[in-house]
Amino acid sequence: MTTNGTNEEKGMLLRVFIEEKEKTHGQPAYEWIVRQARERGLAGAAVVRGILGYGGDKVLHSAKLLEISDDLPMIVEIMDTGENLRKFIVEIGAEIKSGYAALEEVRIFRFGK
């Protein structure tokens, strides 16, 4: 479907919440996840570094100036079809030691090509 010069389609958005220090296969887990998404040909991925958050351990991680943290919350966002992302969650879930994931329906608008 085309809307104002963009291509619109139904899709899913996967958000993976992990800690910055988390390692998978000897590299930062957020980096490993993005590389895995690319290898599988998923539509797109980005990593966002949080400034404040906590996970299952309820430990607060903050980027306050005087309290510089090297273990901030990391959010990996990946868009693709629900089928592809559900498979991907299972694959990465077997490798990630700690974290959460959320999957939601979205409308994807492609610009340009």
Is 33 domain-assigned? yes
Could you tell me the residue range of the domain that residue 29 belongs to? 19-106
Q: For the chain, how many structural domains are there in total?
A: 1
In a domain, 14, yes or no: no
The model's pLDDT over 34-43, given as tens digits with 9 standing for 90+, comes to 999 999 999 9
Residue 71 lies in a domain: yes
Residue 34 lies in a domain: yes
Residue 7 inside a domain? The answer is no
In sequence order, what DSSP letters do the residues of the chain get, joined into one string?
Answer: -EETTEEEEEEEEEEEEEETT-EETTEEHHHHHHHHHHHTT-SEEEEEE-SEE--TT---EE--GGG--SS-EEEEEEEE-HHHHHHHHHHHHTT-SS-EEEEEEEEEEE---
Tens of pLDDT, residues 14-32: 999 999 999 999 999 999 9
61 lies in some domain: yes
Between 15 and 67, name the one with better pLDDT.
15
Domain-embedded: residue 112: no
CATH of the domain at 72: 3.30.70.120
